[in-house]
Amino acid sequence: DVKVTQSSRYLVKRTGEKVFLECVQDMDHENMFWYRQDPGLGLRLIYFSYDVKMKEKGDIPEGYSVSREKKERFSLILESASTNQTSMYLCASSFPIPNEQFFGPGTRLTVL
Amino acid sequence: SQKIEQNSEALNIQEGKTATLTCNYTNYSPAYLQWYRQDPGRGPVFLLLIRENEKEKRKERLKVTFDTTLKQSLFHITASQPADSATYLCALDVDNAGNMLTFGGGTRLMVKP
């Protein structure tokens, strides 16, 4: 059974803290994605990676960075968390040709 | 500007009826379009993909149409069941390479027994 896992389901952090969200996939997918989902704004792409050490900015990369040192793992980093980064964060992976994205269960991050 | 529109209001239907959800887009020329289902507190799950040269695609009780002239996709669930209650998202490829998708805001479907 294919799987995308995320390190935490719920996370509470304080303003200014450095936050790491980890995502692991077991499908040998080249592509990995980080989205955030907010009521009324839908799913928005933060960053996308198409290979190890490769990344591209999505629609809302400001305040975020990413790391992909291994094919199966894609990390999202909030260098200095702010309250407007309180959101549901979703990781996904896919093959590079037109194909479906497999999503993880999501991490609900609250920044106080 | 580019836009994907799905009816933001919930769609309420009776069990056994056909549910029809709409996805309209402007200023895109997608090579394909996808539909996903999302349950509360969970990640979206892929349902169907339809290419620009396909008019219709079916999978069990699901049917998707894709009209590139109208810039519209319709998603149908026949013989709907309460278990079909969820939010349904459409997504378009934005780089014509199958890599990045842009998602609509989703339509919440409620099927009443």
Question: What pLDDT, in 10s, does the model give residues A38-50?
Answer: 988 889 999 999 9
In this prediction, residues B71-90 reach a mean pLDDT of: 97
A-chain CB neighbours of B46 within 8 Å are: 100-102
Contact B43 A96 (CB under 8 A): no
Mean pLDDT within A12-41: 95
Q: What is the CA radius of gyration of chain A?
A: 13
Share of chain B above pLDDT 90, in %: 74
The reply to whether residue A43 touches residue B51, judged by beta carbons under 8 angstroms, is no
Q: Do B44 and A96 touch (CB under 8 A)?
A: no
Contact map slice: A 34-63 vs B, CB within 8 A: 40-43, 45, 48, 50, 56, 58-59
Å between B8 CA and nearest CA of chain A: 8
pLDDT recorded at residue B31: 83
Q: Which residues of A touch B99 (CB under 8 A)?
A: 31, 48, 50, 94, 96
Chain B partners within 8 Å of A29 (Cβ): none
pLDDT over 70 for what percent of chain B? 97
Residue A73, Cβ density class (10 Å: 0-12 exposed, 13-18 middle, ≥19 buried): middle
Residues B44, A43: C-beta atoms closer than 8 Å: yes
Radius of gyration of chain B (CA): 13
Residue B112's pLDDT is 96
Cβ atoms of A47 and A21 closer than 8 Å: no
Q: Do residues B22 and B72 touch, judged by C-beta distance below 8 A?
A: yes
Other C-beta atoms within 10 Å of B98: how many?
18
Q: What is the chain B residue with the closest CA to A2?
A: B45
Mean pLDDT confidence for B17-25: 96
* Interchain CB distance below 8 Å, B43 and A42: no
Of B106, B112, B113, give the one whose Cα is nearest residue B40: B106
What's the pLDDT at A62? 96
Q: Given A48, A102, A108, which is nearest B99 (Cβ)? A: A48
Give CA–CA dist A91/A28, Å, rounded: 15
pLDDT tier, B60 (very low <50, low <70, confident <90, very high otherwise)? very high
Does the structure show a pLDDT above 70 at A79? Answer: yes
Q: CA triplet A70, A28, B46: central angle to 5 degrees?
A: 120
C-alpha distance from B86 to closest chain A C-alpha (Å)? 15
Q: Would you say A63 and A79 are in contact if contact means Cβ atoms under 8 Å apart?
A: yes
Rounded distance, CA B101 to CA B37, Å?
Answer: 15
Place of tokens 């149908």: B76
Residues comprising chain A, all counted = 112
Banded model confidence at residue A99, pLDDT cuts 50, 70, 90: confident
Instruction: Confirm if A52 and A68 have CB atoms less than 8 A apart.
Output: yes
Would residue B95 be called left, alpha or beta, if left means φ above 0 and alpha means ψ between -120 and 50 degrees? alpha
Q: Is A63 exposed, middle or buried (0-12, 13-18, 19+ CB in 10 A)?
A: middle
**Number of Cβ pairs closer than 8 Å across A and B?**
57
Please state, in angstroms and as integers, the Cα–Cα distance from residue B50 to each residue in A44, A93, A98, B21, B84, following that order: 22, 19, 10, 15, 21
Question: Quick check: B97 pLDDT over 70?
Answer: no
What average pLDDT score do residues B22-44 get?
A: 92
pLDDT bin (cut points 50, 70, 90) of residue B35 is very high
